[in-house]
Amino acid sequence: MLYTNTPSKDWQGWRPTKWGNIVFEHPSTFDTLAMETQKKDEIKKDLIKFSKGKDYYAKIGKAWKRGYLLYGPPGTGKSSMIAAMANLLDYDVYDIELTTIKDNSELRKLLIDTKGRSIIVIEDIDCSLDLTGQRKKRKEKDDDEADKEKDPVSKLKKEAEKEGESGSKVTLSGLLNVIDGIWSACGGERIIIFTTNYVDKLDPALIRTGRMDKHIEMSYCCFDAFKVLAKNYLDIESHELFGKIEEVFAETKMSPAYVADMLMPKSEEQDGETCLKNLIAGLEASMEEAGKKSEAAAMLETKDGVVTEG
Ligand X SMILES: Nc1ncnc2c1ncn2[C@@H]1O[C@H](COP(=O)(O)OP(=O)(O)OP(=O)(O)O)[C@@H](O)[C@H]1O
Q: How far is the CB of 70 from ligand X (least distance, A)?
A: 8
Query: Taking a C-beta distance cutoff of 8 angstroms, is the pair 258, 282 a contact?
Result: yes
Q: How far is the CB of 261 from ligand X (least distance, A)?
A: 7
Q: Which is nearer to ligand X, 179 or 230 (CB)?
A: 230
Nearest to 111 by CA among 99, 120, 103: 120
C-alpha torsion sign, points 200, 206, 209, 213: negative
Q: Which is nearer to ligand X, 35 or 230 (CB)?
A: 35
Q: How far is the CB of 47 from ligand X (least distance, A)?
A: 16
Q: Which is nearer to ligand X, 64 or 71 (CB)?
A: 71
Count of CB atoms within 10 A of residue 270's CB? 12
Q: Which is nearer to ligand X, 57 or 258 (CB)?
A: 258
At a CB cut-off of 8 Å and minimum separation 6, what does 70 contact?
Answer: 78, 81, 82, 193, 194, 195, 196, 216, 218
Nearest to 125 by CA among 170, 191, 63: 170
Q: Which is nearer to ligand X, 11 or 220 (CB)?
A: 220
Q: How far is the CB of 254 from ligand X (least distance, A)?
A: 11
Q: How far is the CB of 228 from ligand X (least distance, A)?
A: 7
Which residues of the chain form contacts with ligand X (CB under 6 A)?
A: 32-35, 74-80, 197, 218, 256-257, 260
Q: How far is the CB of 153 from ligand X (least distance, A)?
A: 40
Q: Which is nearer to ligand X, 74 or 291 (CB)?
A: 74
β-sheet bridge partners, residue 92: 118
Measure the CA–CA gap between 153 and 171, rounded to whole angstroms. Answer: 28
Q: Which is nearer to ligand X, 26 or 155 (CB)?
A: 26
Q: How far is the CB of 95 from ligand X (least distance, A)?
A: 12
Nearest to 194 by CA among 282, 253, 287, 132: 132
CA angle in degrees (0–180, nearest 5) for 118-121-122: 155
Alpha-carbon distance values, 217 to 9, 43, 146, 197, 249 (Å): 34, 11, 42, 10, 18
Q: How far is the CB of 160 from ligand X (least distance, A)?
A: 31
Q: Which is nearer to ligand X, 28 or 104 (CB)?
A: 28
Q: Which is nearer to ligand X, 134 or 197 (CB)?
A: 197
Q: How far is the CB of 38 from ligand X (least distance, A)?
A: 15
